[in-house]
Amino acid sequence: MTARITTAAYWLAGAVAIGLAATLVFWWSPVGAAESAGAATPLPADAIPWGFLAAALATGLSSFGAGIAVASVGSAAIGAMAEKPELLGRALIMVGLAEGIAIYGLIISILILNRIL
């Protein structure tokens, strides 16, 4: 069961990283920069609900993935600190890295909401 949770956390973290990279590539592409140099064009009314859905999915799925990652890393960190108390600093760093997944999703959703509002 633990191997399945760990594998799912890796897949979710990879999906969030790929989504972040794709968003950054499309957001700051030269074509997009040339279009944004002029007047900002409003989004069609049909695109706004999809933007809210995309922001909600970015935040929700990244938080779900971060929860799985923190659960597996945190339990392993507690087990390691039970044997070697000097591993506290390394354990906190690993839990913080796992929590960063949720922050990436939050940043993406803020960028999406900034565009549609």
List the one residue out of 40, 2, 11, 34 whose CA is nearest residue 101: 11
pLDDT of 117? 82
| 106 Cβ contact list (under 8 Å, min separation 6) | 58, 59, 62
pLDDT of 111? 93
pLDDT of 43? 78
Which residue ranges of the chain lie beneath pLDDT 70?
A: 1-41
pLDDT of 110? 93
pLDDT of 35? 54
Taking the C-alpha atoms of residue 80 and residue 78, their distance in angstroms, rounded to an integer, is 5
Kind and range of the H or E run holding 53? helix 47-83
Largest CA distance in the chain: 61
- Read off the DSSP letter of residue 38: S
Kind and range of the H or E run holding 28? none
Taking the C-alpha atoms of residue 51 and residue 115, their distance in angstroms, rounded to an integer, is 9
Token pair for residue 33?
């920069």
